[in-house]
């Protein structure tokens, strides 16, 4: 009898993504990605690699995408966790992804040294260009941000406001359509 590997069920794998809201005053850095049929924003960050420490993964991603040395920033506290269970196009079953969103504050002097574009390598070796935009955090509620943190971000009373519940609503097929 031959055993054939079963196709993994959707969401049976778990990935972790660290991301950060980097504030300079009332403005927050978001990466804008323009695609043929859509535009969306993401907080800078990326997937944690196998065996990688969460803090080191976040520092690596912020250095790669913004050119930010987290040691030069204030904060680093965990703000929100978003549980993503969304079906997506493609041949492989989608993973469940936990988005860990941290918060940093920087000075205008540090901001002036940061990247204005982010290159995201695609499977074919080419790059997708993301534009780093500094947006007043109070104007993020209606932006197409993924994970969808815009309403929670815009509801903060100020960039240093305490967060009483770190668990934001899960992102599922019932409340999100992959674009």
Q: What is the pLDDT of residue 108?
A: 98
Is 3 part of any domain? no
Cα separation of the two ends of the chain: 42
Is 2 part of any domain? no
| Helix intervals (H) in the chain | 54-66, 108-111, 150-154
Q: How many CA atoms lie within 13 A of 115 on its CB side?
A: 19
Q: Can you list the positions of beta strands (E) in 49-109?
A: 74-85, 96-105
CATH number assigned to the domain comprising residue 156: 3.90.79.10
Residue 5 has pLDDT above 60, yes or no: no
Is 109 part of any domain? yes
Is 179 part of any domain? no
Is 112 part of any domain? yes
Percent of the chain having pLDDT more than 90? Answer: 73
Q: What residues contact 143, with CB distance under 8 A and at least 6 apart?
A: 30, 41, 135, 150
Domain count, the chain: 1
pLDDT in tens, 87-126: 877 777 788 999 999 999 999 999 999 999 998 877 888 8
The angle at the Cα of 153, spanning 139 to 24, to the nearest 5 degrees, equals 75
For the whole model, what pTM was predicted? 0.89
Q: And the tokens for 18?
A: 């660290």
Mean pLDDT (the chain) is: 91
Q: What is the pLDDT of residue 7?
A: 65
Q: What is the pLDDT of residue 121?
A: 79
Residue 58, classified by CB atoms within 10 Å of its CB into exposed (0-12), middle (13-18) or buried (19+), is buried
The answer to whether 1 touches 93, Cβ cutoff 8 Å, is: no
Is 176 part of any domain? no
| Helix intervals (H) in 95-149 | 108-111
Domain carrying residue 109: 14-166
Is 144 part of any domain? yes
Give the residue-averaged pLDDT of 152-171.
95
Give the residue-averaged pLDDT of 158-176.
93
Min mean pLDDT across 6-10, 78-82, 99-103, 141-145 is at: 6-10
Distance, in Å, from the CA atom of 87 to the CA atom of 95, rounded to the nearest integer, reads 9
Longest dimension (CA), the chain: 67
Is 57 part of any domain? yes
């Amino acid at each position: 009898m031959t055993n054939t590997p079963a196709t993994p069920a959707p969401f049976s794998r778990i990935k972790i993504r660290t991301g950060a809201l980097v504030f300079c005053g009332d403005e927050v850095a978001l990466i804008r990605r323009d695609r043929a049929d859509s535009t969306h924003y993401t907080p800078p960050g990326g997937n944690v690699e196998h065996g990688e420490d969460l803090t080191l993964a976040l520092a690596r991603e912020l250095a790669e995408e913004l050119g930010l040395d987290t040691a030069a920033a204030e904060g680093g506290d965990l703000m929100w966790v978003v549980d993503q269970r969304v079906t997506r196009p493609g041949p492989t079953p989608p993973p469940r992804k936990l988005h860990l969103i941290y918060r940093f504050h920087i000075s205008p002097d540090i901001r002036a040294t940061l990247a204005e574009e982010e290159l995201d390598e695609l499977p074919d070796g080419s790059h997708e260009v993301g534009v780093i935009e500094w947006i007043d955090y109070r104007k993020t509620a209606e932006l197409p941000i993924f994970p969808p943190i815009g309403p929670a971000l815009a509801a903060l009373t100020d960039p240093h406001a305490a967060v009483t519940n770190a668990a934001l609503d899960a992102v599922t097929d019932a409340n999100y359509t992959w674009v």
